[in-house]
Amino acid sequence: MNYNVYVLTFIIGTILGSFYHVVGYRMPLQLNWMNSRSFCQHCHTSLTGFDLVPVVSYIFLRGRCRHCQQSIPFFHLIIEILSGLLFLLPLHHYGSLGFFSGEIYIAWIFLSLLIVITVSDCYFQLILDKVLIFFFILLVAGYSFFSSCNIFYRLIEGGGTFLIFYVISIVGKFLFKKEALGGGDIKLYGLVGLVLGIRCTFISLLLSTILALIYCCIFRRGNNRTPLTFGPFIAASAYFCLFQGETFLEVYIKLFY
64 DSSP β-pair partners: 71
Predicted pLDDT at 253: 78
Which letter does DSSP use for residue 149 in this model? S
Q: What is the pLDDT of residue 224?
A: 63
- The pLDDT, as a whole number, for residue 187 is 94
- Please compute, for residue 4, the number of CA atoms within 13 A of its CA located in the half-sphere on the CB side: 0
115: number of Cβ within 10 Å: 25
The predicted pLDDT at position 223 comes to 61
d(CA 90, CA 135): 18
Residue 37, pLDDT score = 73
The span from the CA of 195 to the CA of 44, in Å, is: 39
pTM: 0.92
The amino acid that residue 232 corresponds to is P
Residue 35 is given by DSSP the state: S
Per-10-residue mean pLDDT for the chain, 257 residues long?
88 95 91 74 77 87 83 91 96 90 93 96 93 95 80 91 91 74 89 94 92 85 72 95 88 75
Q: What pLDDT is recorded for position 205?
A: 92
Length of the chain, please? 257
Query: How far is 157 from 193, CA to CA, in rounded Å?
Result: 6
pLDDT at 225: 66
